[in-house]
Structure 1
Amino acid sequence: MKFISTVALYILFGISAYAQEMSYTISKQLWPDVLGNHRAVISVGKNTDAAEVKIEWRRRDWDADQKAIIITDEKGNKIDNIYRIHINSEEGHFVFQPTGGAGKYFVYYYAWSGRKGNGGFSGNYLKKEKEPNEDWVEKNNLTTSKLKLEQAKVIEIQSRTAFDSFFPMEIVAKKSEVENLVKKSASPYLVFPEDRKFPIKMFDDIPYKWVTKGSSALFTGTAQRNEYYVFQLGVFALVQDLENIKIEYIKSPFSATCFNTEGYDSKGDFFTKIVNVKKGKVQPLWIGLDIPKDAKPGLKEFQVKVKPENAPAKIINVKINVTNEVLANRGDDESWRHSRLRWLNSKLGINDDVVKPYRSLEVTGQKISTSSGQVTLKQDGLPSEIMANGNSLLAGPLTFNILMDNQAVTFSRHDFRFLKKEPGKVTWESTMLSDKLKLTCRASMEADGYLRYKISVAPLHDTKLDDIRLQVPVKKELARYFMGMGLPGSKCPDNYDWKWKGPQDSYWIGDVDAGLFCEMRGASYSGPLLNLYHPAAPPAWYNNNLGGFNVSEKDNVVNTQTYSGTRTMKAGETLDFEFAMLITPVKPLDTKSQFVNRYYHNGNQPEPPLSILESGVKIINVHHANLINPYINYPFGSVDSIKRFVSDWHKRGVKTKIYYTIRELSNQATELWALRSLGTEVLADGNGGGYTWLREHLGSNYNAQWFTPINGMEACDAAVLTSGESRWYNYYVEGLRWMIRNTDLDGLYLDDVSFDRDLLKRVRKVMDMVKPGCILDLHSNTGFSRGPATQYMEFFPYINKLWFGESFQYDKMPPENWLVEVSGIPYGLMGDMLHAGGNPWRGMVYGMTVRYPWFTEGVNCDPREIWKVWDSFGIADAKMVGYWEEQTPVRTSDPGVLATAYIKDDKLLIAVASWNKNATAVKLNIDWKKIGWEPQEIMICPAIENFQSARTLGLKDAIEIDPTKGYLLIINKIVH
């Protein structure tokens, strides 16, 4: 595919003339990518021992002279002798020995060595080629200043693929050409209007196109009715820094915005941005025009004023020809239009509506009730009572104590008032005064039982504080388990001390029927503290490592205390202490969904065999990095393949979900260049590097992340890190709505996400809005004892299923860890096992298997044999009663061997697993009154491949159980 001829170039872009005629093309045949993504095609007219060539390659890389030059003939034979005369980013001037005789030669100048693999790229550009043979150099007098050699002709510059191409916006203007611009201009800066088809990609250089075309005060474009039309203004600071550029629209017939200077953040609040441009740098300004559906066709003219704070304004005349055609979906169906940029300012899902399955909040006096719990507030705004699942959790009221002279400060005045009472959210405020301090408590409770607090401490004069403490006293009988603040899921300790380290900022305490999650907030980032996001601790609580956390037990009360240590505050200062709580369980346990909605999950091969239908698979997760969903967190580039896949499996009664999150973004994203123009708002800063495409096009100031060569595709997926909370959240929510509408997806697979609960809540609202019944399952890759359950617990009200466990050591984990950190049961959720196939015997105690066809080398992970037992027994309609429940009807004779019963009217399935270090002989103790049957005598051990052999046992028989293993036993009700 040839990009363009020189003549066509002039016509299409209005370029008057090239200093050197150059054709930029895409190669018709792929060459080995280790030779680099760019080459010059040159021609030698006759047989000669030495040919001279000068290539005006106009490169972006400043270290062009340090990279190797590789020359081959048409057959691919490498040329050994290359003599460099002058190499820089503007041009390459050298002599080579054309051993293939007259004909074409290829000059590669971005060759590299290394490895491309799933998940990562390791490699670097080749250093300068070896020195040429001295005899050849001397023979051809190459060291003289006046060479008289055969001149090779540059035919064209080729890119390996269209995606690799630099043309036209990365063909760099020479230094002399830029200097000439500066001399000719009477202004300290220039503005270059640019069409959306040609995103401005360079910020340290200007494209040669701008040199030849020149600056302009006019932009013309053609739009359709109902289109969100986008164009660019490239601001080039010629001779000075430009400060605080403002954009104004004069007599615009359309609503307009500049995404670089203003917008709406992820909470829906309007903000403005300061845009500065350093001398010699380029700042793209992306402008969106909202053209209504009922706009009258015709030419629309208005002006855009570009006004730096320290330089004269420039007026750009804009002429938009609005045609009579009406564009569907604002243009969002065609990514090249960049209409989706308006998604950055979306407020979709930002409201206080109630989200299913929760009911509206009810306020009676100072008591707030919801589906999952009830909170009674004191005058200071803190809970005096928390009811969870009908259980009174607290042994006393929550206290926020400030200590001075080793005594808690007493406040003489408490002003409490509700600020807002919406069905989905109630907010309140309390003000407290003493002779030394003023406290303001602002708090809210949401319909899912989530409470958020911000307590502001303001001294009335300079004051030394001994400590500030948040105390949560829990009844000992309900403080059975604990997790967080450095501890894995475990029995609740009687005494425990912890200092800030992590990623840890939260804990959960409670039992299966009632619990409380508490997170200390106030850091710059409050999402899950996992993987790529390890921010500093909340400064008010941390207090330069004087703060910490402890657990203590006394008089049947377990007290959790977060303290901040001694400090001095000055009059006029304000210190904010933030924390959030969630009442658990967040919803009733849905065991039927767990046993019916089985997952097929195979990362690189998402297309399942039809045999999964026989196994009862109901949901397919499509990961990224495959032919269906190739690009990480950017499914818009593969809509057709996703839509076909979803449709095919819907016809078979199987739902489909895809991997789509935010933490990284593929280099294949159409909007990548617009996002780059926003600085670090969306794309995180970093040291660059990574895959060669990133180095060649992004240059620097990015953080290279996941890399995948897509099997069956030439394109590679090279991701960069996003910055955390930003307007990309808004884009994500709108993008999800668009994807579900256009592909009929059934939900998302969330893999170690970095966004916060507010965004997840928006996601759930959007899914319910577009397609009720969508499913969210959550995976974390955090290693054993690193706390994924606490880090993600604020998500749990809106999640359908968990998939924690990557690198979990299932055979070493005590039952408390299984229950609290893996199963999800105390929170009203259930999960699947992961690492190395989990432990199938212990897993069944918690209703868990692995996903099919999850495979680990040397380990049989296939769950289908267990699923057959599920189906023959009818487990979906059984009542699950685990060992953790006081009313469990089945126990064993050994406390190290645990049992869970699945009860039906006429059948009983018992999952038994051992946590003992040695083989153990146990008997089952069954409370038949709780079962509701007459005592039975026989139990069946069904044959399950790689799990157990078939046999029949008497109920009084001892069962020998090996360490880490167990049995599934069935008792059929026999009516005499």
Structure 2
Amino acid sequence: MGHRRSAWIIAGVLLGASGLGHAQRPITQQALRWNADALGNHRYLVQVDKPANAVRVLIPWRRRDAHPEQVAVIVTAPDGSVVPNVLRGRIDPASGELVFQATQAGTYAIYYQPYVSKGRSNYPTVTYATPSDTADAAWKSRVGDASRWSRLPQATVLRYEAVDDFDAYTSMERTATADELQALLAAHPTEGLLLFPETRANPIRMFDALPESWAKRGPGGALSDTAQRGEYLSFQLGAWAPRAAVNDVRVSFSDLHADDGASLPASAFTCFNLGGVGYDGHPFTARVDVAQGRVQPLWMGLDVPLGAKAGLYRGRMTVTAEGLPPQSIPLAIKVGSGSAVAHGDDDPFKLTRLRWLNSTLAQDDAVVKPLTPITVHGDTLGILGREITLGVSGLPARISSRFDERMTGFSKTSKALLAAPIQLTVEDDAGRHVLTSAQRAQVQIDGPGKVHWQVAANAGALQGEVKGSLEADGSMVFAIALSARQDVSLRDIRLSIPMEHAAAAYQLGLGRQGDRAPDDFSWKWNVENNQDGAWIGSVNAGLEFHLRDENYRRPLNTNFYHQQPLRMPVSWDNSGQGGIHLRSEANDYRVDAFSGPRRMKAGETLHYDLVMRVTPFKTIDPPKHFAERFFHKYGDLDAIKADGADVVNIHHATPINPWINYPFLEPAAMREYIDAAHQRGMRVKIYDTVRELSDRAPELPMLESLGHEVISAGKGGGFSWLQEHLDGDYIAAWHVPENRDAAVINAGQSRWHNFYIEGLDWLARNVGIDGLYLDDVAYDRTTMKRVRKVLQAHRADPLIDLHSASQFNPRDGYINSALLYMELFPYIDRLWFGEEFDYQKTSPTYWLTEISGIPYGLMGEMLQNDGNPWRGMLFGMTNRLGWSPGSDPRALWKLWDSVGIEQAEMIGWWVHDTPVKTGRDDVLATSYVRRGNKTLIAIASWAPQTVDVRLAVDWKALGLSPGRVSLTAPEIAGFQPRASFKPGDVVSVEPGKGWLIVVE
């Protein structure tokens, strides 16, 4: 993302909602009241009754920024001109004293947080202007020092204003003064934890300061609110530790009772800060500690039963903490006679959707199309097109694939990936010991899409436990624990993967871009690199592997890797002694992952975890691929259809999807657009992922209360809204200046993924989306499976396409995008790789393995500089209509239709018996064969100069007679001139270009 964002252009369209994160309804965004880039977002208006050489004003701004004395103020006159003669008196968070020259009567504006924005507009660096003395010396002399200011005319403070409603400070961001805090503490001299109940209407926004309202009203009191039957009611409790840190804060609830005996059970309550259900479906608990001087919001939820009686229910909420007496907060919840629809979820501002954080929707072992249920025959496991046989260690002894080279179907015979069983070996002074077990693995079936097994094994002085699982998509996860029976000195612990030479044709990962598998290559662990494995394979049979331990956490990606990098696995890395060696040997292609010498104490356990995936994940479907024509921009549907496209991708920063990764605030407009598309036989996909989150999300204050469960830790900064309304510990992400949308980076694995899944379900049900456009992804396969299941539950054929900029750079830790996202490939339909991918200076094997997706069961399109159309056609790839003026595949679409490409069989240059060959390795041909009818031959060159080739054609395979065919290159604007050939003619191919030749 960032400078590599695939699409964000607004084309002058602004819009949307305002007041998000405040207790406000969305409104149509008005034009900014003033130029915020010049003056800042906040001001006070003051009235000057008559002209004066100098007037004094005391602004009661109650600021939340830490050092207001270090920030400039700008005073403007009633005519809008800047007043240069201004003096600053006492400036502190409570108030600001100013003296300024008032040459005219009227309303003056005092802007008190002016800022300077530098850097890229989408990743701005905003700093706040420091005070500067612009006052004339003679004027200052006439005004005199501060001791004389009390005699000056006093300006009257009228009101506070913000540049727009969304930027305005809420009442929860007006800080208490030092005197108010002193009075509050004096009134509660012995209390270590002060509690402040709040409804959802006033989200707590400050964690290092108290709001004015709390200081004035004091702690305690009842929490009173109303809800409808069936509604999910959220509310808060602010916990302030003014004198010392308070640890292990806990909350419990009583049943709530009405006067008529009706009740709401305590079990209907949740405190989100104390735990819930993780993104992986596993329950967890969390400890809440409150640092000295800090405010910790505790967010609660009450699931009011749909069958609850109307009435007023009373009960108590009890808060305990280490070393402090319990405190009770009365609860008074009035349940109305009406019934909420879908818990109230259709209105994001009610914050009923917080319950989505603990959702387990689609968290199951069901199978999604086109995957098939796992078959189990003893220790042999079958999945779509692949088979794995387990060895005595619980690791694979045999892996095979039945995918054919065309990648459109299956062969009768299988292709072996392994030349011998995978082995984990322990080497000590006594020799080498292969991890093995006396009993074979007993496979347990969890569901159609998952099985697992467990093996107790031994390797010399180490006792091992292997827990393995296989899923229907080809993913195998091995948790391998090795424990020392006694103190032992080890020379190495090593994993060996011996692959068949025929299967080990290509390799990517470990700092290498996709290419032929190297004859000899060594790699070492390095935290600067997002590298822990590789993919090695051929087009129709391959193996992805990753080395991990029990502390693995998904790193951040796409510009932010170094802010949450890979955790070095203690076992495999072994303080830098571990690594991987790839080499071609006589009998196999060997992968050796070693960890080097170490000592283990008796009882010590190391975790040598391993993740593997068998590719391809599914067959490709060229006819479907060519039939779906993408338009990658918001636009007029009739015009889009007239251009030949039938799938529309809707980005954020568009009228129907204004805010990044929060597509819930313009549902009526989105529904209307999608309905109109469906009426025209078109489909609509929207931009929505979880790598970052718009500041417009109403849930953002609550997510801040969870620490860094959802919002990643960082240095803050970024756009002004983030700095002015968040607590400062975040990573600033994408910003759209045209509609002032700013985002923060989310953690790689969190309950926000549960929220995301529920949100997709809501969008599919209520808005009618046909799929997703994913622009780099921060979630793993667990969430991706759920995405597919949710969309398939509502759409027979949902579409999910994935864009990625190239991650192979120091900023992203030199990770291959294909390897980074390979775990998601079984559940998506199309790739769009992407900015910074090199289409000109890279090899055909790079195209095949890094860009095309074909070895994994996908097809794709090109992006950077509109790609290379000649080489792209070897892989069924064009650029994407609507992206940029140069992205115009309509001429190619027209040719496709003329030859009936949707009825053709695609036979790539990589197929050993491809019917058309050039006789050169640097000029390749892919055929689109309609046997006995037409064949489209795509030719592309990697030769450094113009070369002549003669096509070797298997006419029988085409179902044509060479004496009765014509070979025509139709004229295609920007692609090729018209030309005619005869069988056996020389075809001259320019460097970096090629031909499309119709044979009929």
The normalised TM-score by structure 1 is: 0.93
Aligned letter for 1:762? R
The SS at the match of 2:998 is strand
CA contact (8 A) 1:414 1:430 kept: no
Q: Kindly state the Cα deviation for residue 517 of structure 1 after the two structures are TM-superposed.
A: 1.4
1:270-285 equivalences under 5 Å are 270-285=283-298
CA contact (8 A) 1:477 1:556 kept: no
Question: Does 1:701 find its partner at 2:729?
Answer: yes
Aligned partner of 2:714 in structure 1 is 686
CA contact (8 A) 2:393 2:435 kept: no
Aligned partner of 2:366 in structure 1 is 353
Mapped to 2, the partners of 1:368 and 1:641 lie a distance apart of: 48
Give the one of 138, 146, 159 matched to 2:141: 138
CA contact (8 A) 1:58 1:172 kept: yes
Mapped to 2, the partners of 1:578 and 1:772 lie a distance apart of: 37
1:133-212 equivalences under 5 Å are 133-145=136-148, 147-185=150-188, 186-212=190-216
Q: Kindly state the Cα deviation for residue 370 of structure 1 after the two structures are TM-superposed.
A: 1.4
Mapped to 1, the partners of 2:154 and 2:621 lie a distance apart of: 78
CA contact (8 A) 1:196 1:232 kept: yes
CA contact (8 A) 1:61 1:699 kept: no
Give the one of 720, 730, 734 matched to 2:754: 730
Question: Does 1:220 find its partner at 2:224?
Answer: yes
The SS at the match of 2:102 is coil
Aligned partner of 1:578 in structure 2 is 609
Aligned letter for 1:189? L
With over 3 angstroms needed to count, the CA separation of the structure-2 counterparts of 1:42 and 1:235, relative to structure 1, is same
Mapped to 2, the partners of 1:326 and 1:788 lie a distance apart of: 48
Q: Kindly state the Cα deviation for residue 644 of structure 1 after the two structures are TM-superposed.
A: 2.2
Q: Kindly state the Cα deviation for residue 413 of structure 1 after the two structures are TM-superposed.
A: 4.5
CA contact (8 A) 1:836 1:855 kept: no
Q: Kindly state the Cα deviation for residue 278 of structure 1 after the two structures are TM-superposed.
A: 2.0
Aligned letter for 1:466? R
Q: Kindly state the Cα deviation for residue 191 of structure 1 after the two structures are TM-superposed.
A: 1.4
Question: Does 1:541 find its partner at 2:572?
Answer: yes
The SS at the match of 1:797 is helix
With over 3 angstroms needed to count, the CA separation of the structure-2 counterparts of 1:412 and 1:391, relative to structure 1, is closer
Q: Kindly state the Cα deviation for residue 120 of structure 1 after the two structures are TM-superposed.
A: 2.0
The SS at the match of 2:521 is strand
The SS at the match of 1:466 is strand
1:483-562 equivalences under 5 Å are 483-501=508-526, 502-522=529-549, 524-526=552-554, 530-533=558-561, 534-562=565-593
Q: Which moved more, 1:549-558 or 1:882-891?
A: 549-558
Mapped to 1, the partners of 2:557 and 2:443 lie a distance apart of: 32
With over 3 angstroms needed to count, the CA separation of the structure-2 counterparts of 1:368 and 1:891, relative to structure 1, is same
Mapped to 2, the partners of 1:938 and 1:652 lie a distance apart of: 38
Aligned partner of 2:107 in structure 1 is 104
Mapped to 1, the partners of 2:382 and 2:330 lie a distance apart of: 58
The SS at the match of 2:477 is strand
With over 3 angstroms needed to count, the CA separation of the structure-2 counterparts of 1:740 and 1:412, relative to structure 1, is closer
The SS at the match of 1:97 is strand
Q: For structure 1, which runs of at least 5 residues remain unmatched after alignment?
A: 1-11, 14-25
Mapped to 2, the partners of 1:283 and 1:474 lie a distance apart of: 54
CA contact (8 A) 1:528 1:753 kept: no
Give the one of 113, 127, 132 matched to 2:130: 127
Give the one of 448, 457, 470 matched to 1:432: 457
Aligned partner of 2:692 in structure 1 is 664
Length, aligned pairs only: 938
Q: Kindly state the Cα deviation for residue 143 of structure 1 after the two structures are TM-superposed.
A: 4.7
Aligned partner of 1:340 in structure 2 is 353
Aligned partner of 2:837 in structure 1 is 808
Deviations 1:253-281 (A, max 9, x none): 23101111121111222222111112222
Q: Kindly state the Cα deviation for residue 118 of structure 1 after the two structures are TM-superposed.
A: 4.7
Q: Kindly state the Cα deviation for residue 116 of structure 1 after the two structures are TM-superposed.
A: 8.3
Question: Does 1:760 find its partner at 2:760?
Answer: no
Aligned partner of 1:918 in structure 2 is 945
CA contact (8 A) 2:230 2:304 kept: yes
Aligned partner of 1:7 in structure 2 is none
Give the one of 349, 352, 367 matched to 2:380: 367
Q: Which moved more, 1:778-787 or 1:73-82?
A: 778-787
Aligned partner of 1:819 in structure 2 is 848
Question: Does 1:903 find its partner at 2:934?
Answer: no
Give the one of 446, 452, 456 matched to 2:477: 452
Question: Does 1:846 find its partner at 2:870?
Answer: no
Aligned letter for 1:730? N
With over 3 angstroms needed to count, the CA separation of the structure-2 counterparts of 1:769 and 1:446, relative to structure 1, is same
The structure, 1 or 2, with the larger RCO (C-alpha pairs under 8 Å, 6+ apart) is: 2
Deviations 1:885-915 (A, max 9, x none): 0121110133321101110031011001111
With over 3 angstroms needed to count, the CA separation of the structure-2 counterparts of 1:195 and 1:230, relative to structure 1, is same
Give the one of 889, 892, 898 matched to 1:863: 889
CA contact (8 A) 1:380 1:416 kept: yes
Aligned partner of 1:293 in structure 2 is 306
CA contact (8 A) 1:413 1:434 kept: no
Report percent identity of matched pairs: 39
Deviations 1:588-627 (A, max 9, x none): 111112111121113xxx2156343244312111122232
Mapped to 2, the partners of 1:788 and 1:109 lie a distance apart of: 45
Aligned partner of 2:259 in structure 1 is none
Mapped to 2, the partners of 1:249 and 1:820 lie a distance apart of: 56
Q: For structure 2, which runs of at least 5 residues remain unmatched after alignment?
A: 1-22, 257-263, 403-413, 809-813
Aligned letter for 2:180? E
Mapped to 1, the partners of 2:274 and 2:102 lie a distance apart of: 55
Question: Does 1:720 find its partner at 2:749?
Answer: no
Mapped to 2, the partners of 1:589 and 1:112 lie a distance apart of: 52
Mapped to 1, the partners of 2:642 and 2:635 lie a distance apart of: 16
CA contact (8 A) 1:170 1:202 kept: yes
Aligned partner of 2:411 in structure 1 is none
Give the one of 859, 862, 865 matched to 1:830: 859
Mapped to 2, the partners of 1:772 and 1:133 lie a distance apart of: 74
Mapped to 1, the partners of 2:481 and 2:897 lie a distance apart of: 56
Q: Kindly state the Cα deviation for residue 645 of structure 1 after the two structures are TM-superposed.
A: 2.1
The SS at the match of 1:541 is helix
Question: Does 1:588 find its partner at 2:619?
Answer: yes
Give the one of 482, 494, 499 matched to 2:507: 482
CA contact (8 A) 1:416 1:428 kept: no
Aligned partner of 1:53 in structure 2 is 57
Aligned partner of 2:630 in structure 1 is 599
Deviations 1:845-896 (A, max 9, x none): 111100012327xxx4321111110010010110011111012111013332
Mapped to 2, the partners of 1:561 and 1:116 lie a distance apart of: 45
Question: Does 1:469 find its partner at 2:494?
Answer: yes
Mapped to 2, the partners of 1:878 and 1:660 lie a distance apart of: 34
CA contact (8 A) 1:36 1:111 kept: yes
Aligned letter for 1:790? L
Mapped to 2, the partners of 1:214 and 1:855 lie a distance apart of: 58
Give the one of 27, 50, 70 matched to 2:74: 70
Give the one of 113, 118, 128 matched to 2:116: 113
Q: Kindly state the Cα deviation for residue 239 of structure 1 after the two structures are TM-superposed.
A: 2.4
Mapped to 1, the partners of 2:555 and 2:765 lie a distance apart of: 28
Mapped to 1, the partners of 2:354 and 2:79 lie a distance apart of: 46
Give the one of 929, 948, 962 matched to 2:976: 948
With over 3 angstroms needed to count, the CA separation of the structure-2 counterparts of 1:130 and 1:699, relative to structure 1, is farther
With over 3 angstroms needed to count, the CA separation of the structure-2 counterparts of 1:311 and 1:783, relative to structure 1, is closer
Aligned partner of 2:410 in structure 1 is none
Give the one of 324, 327, 330 matched to 1:311: 324
With over 3 angstroms needed to count, the CA separation of the structure-2 counterparts of 1:29 and 1:767, relative to structure 1, is closer
Q: Kindly state the Cα deviation for residue 164 of structure 1 after the two structures are TM-superposed.
A: 1.4
Q: Kindly state the Cα deviation for residue 216 of structure 1 after the two structures are TM-superposed.
A: 2.8
Q: Kindly state the Cα deviation for residue 548 of structure 1 after the two structures are TM-superposed.
A: 1.0
The SS at the match of 2:895 is helix
Q: Kindly state the Cα deviation for residue 527 of structure 1 after the two structures are TM-superposed.
A: 6.2
The SS at the match of 1:583 is strand
Q: Which moved more, 1:136-145 or 1:838-847?
A: 136-145
CA contact (8 A) 1:372 1:449 kept: no
CA contact (8 A) 2:375 2:383 kept: yes
With over 3 angstroms needed to count, the CA separation of the structure-2 counterparts of 1:657 and 1:412, relative to structure 1, is closer
Deviations 1:74-124 (A, max 9, x none): 21011111111211111011211002x222111110112225865222332
